[in-house]
Each structure stands twice: as structure tokens, then as C-alpha cells.
Amino acid sequence: MNDSDIVISRVLEGFHRVPFARFTSSYTNRRCDHEAGMVMIGATIDGRPVGLAVMFCAAEKDEAILESIFVDPRRRRIDVGRSLLAAAGEIATRAGASKLTGQWYDDAPSSSLIETLLARDGWKTPEPKFNIHRASRPGFEFLDRTSRPWRSSSRFELESWSGMKPDDLRIVDALRESHDIPLGLHPSGETLLEISADTSLLLRDRGSIAGWFLHHHLGHDIIRYSSLWVRPDLIGRGVGLALAIEGVRRHLAVAERRPRGLFVVSLKNEAMHRFITRRIAPGLDRSSALLHSERAL
């Protein structure tokens, strides 16, 4: 580091974020613009952007989340990353958090650099928590060829999410409380992304809403398979997997416009991992482990 290479890390607001926008995704930028608790920390040298950290630090939460950290490759190894981490820790501490957590892909080009940076800052050894799977049209076609079509019955019906009526939405909202559905599996859990209404599905059991498979538009050409939920008494009967397969078929029907898909599976979800290994692994483009680490503040 030269004497002139003084790193300054500070919270970015308003138009000050613009020069740093290229260091992160458009989705993260939207979250920072609209979601309370999102904080952008920019690092500069001589006023020029050299790095960016994004964190989620909600009030009265014990945990702050480091969403992403990036350092310009031309400015690495001069403590830009450590300066960003220090600023993130100070902000989280002031907000009342007692720990800072972070996640990243194990096969990301910068994965080893992130691990080295966090280890030097006292973070714990990273552990995998989720698997992220990506597929494109050949994968959708593979699952379509190797799976039975959905068969209508007097009991179960599948409907497109685009046909949802106001009464249906009210029932879905009520199910969250009556069945204690985690926010991440409920349609109201994602407020920033548009639901892919022509590929998302609603499951009915004798006319009553009993499940759904929700997709969201993650980018102009990619759909995220966000949440699959079925009523607890239906778990283990193959209904959820049939719902997932039919959702992929709906995606295949619009693959010209949305050719890519992505979904996240917890390592604890053994049933889904068995299904992936047996049925769709040959059709996947790429699978990554999402590593998790944390540091006490």
C-alpha cells in the first residue's frame, strides 16, 4: 500500500450509491432502495470506488447479515476488504446485533479469497447450509421426458397462479397463520420480485387450497423456484413432487422467453435431495453449496 492508498469506508445513500452499483446485482440494488435495514458500505481510495459491502441490519435483531462483499481486483491485498468488514461490524454493533453472518457460493471465483479474508477477521470456519441448483431448457426437457404427466382426479386439481381470485388470495393469507407457514414459503414473503404467474401453480384438494409452487422473475431470462408448500397431512404422499414436476413443465412452455431456472434446497431437506439425485441431477447445469460463516461482535 502506498501512502496515498488510504481506504475510506462509509455508508452510501441516495445518488452516492450510483458509482458502486456495478459491484453488485440489480436485485440487491433494488433491495437497498426499497427494503428497510439494507445498508450499502462503499470503500474509496482518493474518492474512487474500490469496494462494496452490502448488509442487512434490522432493528432489534440479534444477527446482522453480510449479504455481499466485493473488492476491485486491481485493489486487492491493500486491506480494502478488512476496512469494509470493520465498518460493517461497527454498524451492526450500533444496531444491537451480537453477531455478523455471511453466505457465499463454494464455487464462486472469489470463494477462496472470501474465506481468507474472513478467517483473518476472526470468522468461524465456513459450513455448507444450502445447495443452489441451476438448469436450462435441456434440463427441463429431461425432467419432462422422464416423468409421468399430472393426472387430474376427483380430489386434486392444479391451477395456474394467473387465475387466482381475490377470495383465493385471502384464503392463502389465512393459511399462513392457521398452518404456521414460514414467511419464506408464503407468497407474501417476497415483496420485491414479480411472481411468474404463468408458471406458478396452486394445488386444490377437493376444491380447498392445499398448496402451491411459486416462481419469481429473478432477471430478464431467469426464473427462481422460490417456494413449494403443501398442507402437512399431504407430505410424503408424492403430491409435492408432482407439483414441482408440473411447475417445471410450465417453465418449459415459456423457455423461449425465460430459458434459465434456479432453486435453493436446504441440506436438511433429505427427501428433496434424494429426488434431485434420482431424477434431475443429469439435467442440471450447475450445483453449488452455499457456505455459511459468522463472527461474534
Tell me which H or E stretch contains 130. Answer: strand 127-136
Name the domain boundary from 79, 97, 115.
97
Q: Are residues 217 and 82 in the same domain?
A: no
111 belongs to a structural domain: no
> Do 263 and 138 have their domain in common?
yes
Residue with cell 479474508: 117
Q: Is residue 117 part of a domain?
A: no
If residue 41 lies in a helix (H) or strand (E), which one and from where to where? strand 38-45
Integer CA distances (angstroms), 196 to 5, 214, 219, 296, in order: 47, 8, 11, 39
Q: What pLDDT, on the 0 to 100 scale, is given for residue 4?
A: 62
H/E element, 216:
strand 208-217
Residue 202 has a CB neighbour count (10 Å cut-off) of: 21
Q: What pLDDT is recorded for position 3?
A: 53
- Do strands 63-71 and 99-105 pair parallel, antiparallel, or not at all (unpaired)? parallel
Question: Residue 1: what pLDDT?
Answer: 54
pLDDT at 183: 92
Domain count of the chain? 2
Q: Are residues 92 and 138 in the same domain?
A: no
Answer yes or no: do 93 and 141 share one domain.
Answer: no
Domain of residue 84, residue span? 7-97
Domain boundary among the residues 97, 113, 145 is at: 97
Give me the phi and psi of 3, to 5 degrees please: -60, -30
Question: Domain holding 87: CATH number?
Answer: 3.40.630.30
Residue 107 is assigned to a structural domain of this protein: no
Q: Among residues 97, 121, 154, which one ends one of the domains?
A: 97
Residues 266, 174 share a domain: yes
Angle ∠(293,295,297) on CA atoms, nearest 5: 155
Looking at the fold, whether 46 and 172 belong to one and the same domain comes out as: no
Residue 112 located in a structural domain: no
139 and 83 assigned to the same domain: no
Same domain, yes or no, for 54 and 198? no
Per-residue pLDDT of the chain (297 residues), as tens digits, is: 555 678 999 999 989 999 998 999 888 988 898 888 999 999 999 999 999 999 999 877 899 999 999 999 988 888 999 999 999 999 999 999 999 999 999 999 889 999 999 999 999 999 999 999 999 999 999 999 999 888 878 899 999 999 999 999 999 999 999 999 999 999 999 888 999 999 999 999 999 999 999 999 998 899 999 999 999 999 888 898 899 999 999 999 999 999 999 999 999 988 888 888 988 899 999 999 999 999 999
Cell numbers representing residue 151 in the block: 393426472
pLDDT tens-place string over residues 216-264? 999 889 999 999 999 999 988 889 889 999 999 999 999 999 999 999 9
Rounded alpha-carbon distances, angstroms, from residue 212 to 48, 50, 139, 226: 47, 43, 22, 10
What pLDDT shows up at residue 143?
92
Asked if 266 and 191 sit in the same domain, the reply is yes
CA 20 to centroid of chain Cα atoms: 21
Q: How far apart are CA 153 and CA 131, in angstroms?
A: 34
pLDDT of residue 5: 77
**What confidence score (pLDDT) does residue 2 get?**
59
Residues 143, 284: one domain? Answer: yes
> Are 139 and 193 part of one and the same domain?
yes
- 25 and 140 assigned to the same domain: no
